Every structure is written in structure tokens, then in C-alpha cells.
Amino acid sequence: MPDTGAPFSPIGDKSLYHQVVDRIRIAIFRGDLKPGDQLPSEPELARQLAVSRSAVREAIRILESAGLVAVRRGHGGGTFVQERDVASLVPVFADILRLSLVEVSELTRTRVLLESVVIQEAGALLKPADVALLHKNVDEAEQFYKQGEVELRVAANLDFHMKLARVAASPVLELNVGAVLKLLSYYLEAIPPTAEMVEGTLAGHRQLIELMATGQVLEAVALNRQHIETVSRKLILCAEEDADKGLPARHLFDDGGIDEKAV
């Protein structure tokens, strides 16, 4: 078949909508279609792929739900490739892990491995502006603590680690760290933190910043490992105390608590 310059070629005998999805997804991942690019119109896509317009319509609906494309209505509308946004992918990845019944011990081990790499990578790229941003995060978390804003304080503490991942300048690392932290947040919703634990976290974050800012990266890695393992022990202790009291297990996957299988 002569090259017509069209971005898509006919699918052939099989005209199922999921094949249309695959074709467009591959074109996006391969870079043939870039963020902001507009896809051909529904009739044109159907013509290029030799499928029905209903197959194209269903494929676009699936791609839109997956966050790969955005459909704009009205004047200047059409179907456009979405900008790549790590933050929007984190909850999806976290839910996959959540459904896999990830144990606290595995979550801890994964956090240590991922964040050790993050700290080493970020340590080599850290700029004064990054140091200031990290300090601002800890200041905000401390204010939330003093104001009794538990959810905001927990979110700020977790965001501290996401900010480190962004300094490391690796979208893959950022996505993985984000998913693990999101999963951790499900556990933390069920745990009333002690003042000692909160204050220790704030002090630990400040110390971590100073170690990285002064080039003591390996010391920062060791400190972060200690912090992660302390949180893990708290999670396990909480579940054990429930068991000793004869309380029913708090199910992580039902209501934000800890599932017995997760410890």
C-alpha cells in the first residue's frame, strides 16, 4: 500500500474497539503523538483504521477515562493527547498496590529502596531553592500540627518525600514513590499519632534537609531508613494492640484501617 502520510493504517479484518485503543496508545507511547497533539476526527480515524465510527467512539471514551486523551467540545474542540501528569497517575498505581494486599513489611522495604535512590539522586541535584522549598514544607507541617490539623499535617509530611522525589528529576521514581506514599496514607488514616512521633518526624525532616544540603548523602539515607522503619513499627504495634484487646481487625481495604493480613 502506498504511503499516504496518514498517521494510522488500516487494522484489517478485526475491527474491535480495543484494537483502536491499542493503536492510539502505542502511537502516544512511541512519541508519534505528543502531548497537545490533536487526533484526526472521528470519521477520519475510522477511515484510516478501516473500522466503524462506533469502534472509534468507544476507543476514545476508554482513552479519555484512562487520562491519555481529552475531548474538548464546541469551537476549536476535538480529541487531544493529554499532558503527561505523574500526579494523576499516582492514585491509579496506588490502588493497584492496594488491591494486591501489600504487607507493611513489603511497603517498608520498598520505601527504603526507593527513597534511598531518591536521596542519592536528589543530593547530587539539590539547589538552594530546593532546600528553601523543603524547609517551607516542614514549617507548614509544624503549623498544621500546632493548629490540630491532623489530615493537613499528614499530607504535608508525605509531600515532603514527594518533593524530594521531584528534585531527583525522575518521573519513574516520582510515580513509584507517590504510589507507595499514597498506600501508606491509607494505613496512617487509622493511626492516632503521638506527639512524640509527630515531633520526631518534623525534627527528622529538618535534619534530613541539613544532611543533604551539606553533602552528607549517605548519612541522610541512613536517617531516612531509620524514620521509615520507625513508622513501620508503629503500624505493626497498632495492629498487635488491637489483637491483644480482642478488637476486630481494622480493614485497610474496607474503611481505611489495617487489615490483619497486612502485618
Q: Does domain 17-81 have CATH number 1.10.10.10?
A: yes
pLDDT of residue 259: 34
Q: Does domain 87-262 have CATH number 1.20.120.530?
A: yes
Among 79-88, 152-161, 208-217, 237-246, which stretch is predicted with the lowest mean pLDDT? Answer: 237-246
Rounded Cα gap, residues 156 and 88, in angstroms: 18
Rounded Cα gap, residues 194 and 200, in angstroms: 10
pTM over 0.85: no
Query: Once rounded to an integer, what is the mean pLDDT over residues 69-77?
Result: 85
Shortest CA distance to 149 belongs to which of 179, 193, 187, 185? 193
The grid cell for 49 is: 483504521
The grid cell for 202 is: 518534623
pLDDT at 225 > cutoff 90: yes
Q: Where are the alpha helices (DSSP H) in 100-216?
A: 104-125, 128-146, 150-167, 171-188, 195-213
Amino acid code (one letter) for 246: G
Which has more confidence, 253 or 100?
100
Give residue 76's pLDDT band: very low, low, confident or very high (50, 70, 90): confident
Q: What does the domain layout of the chain look like in residue ranges?
A: 17-81, 87-262
Summarised one tens digit per residue, pLDDT across range 38-61 is 999 999 999 998 888 999 999 999
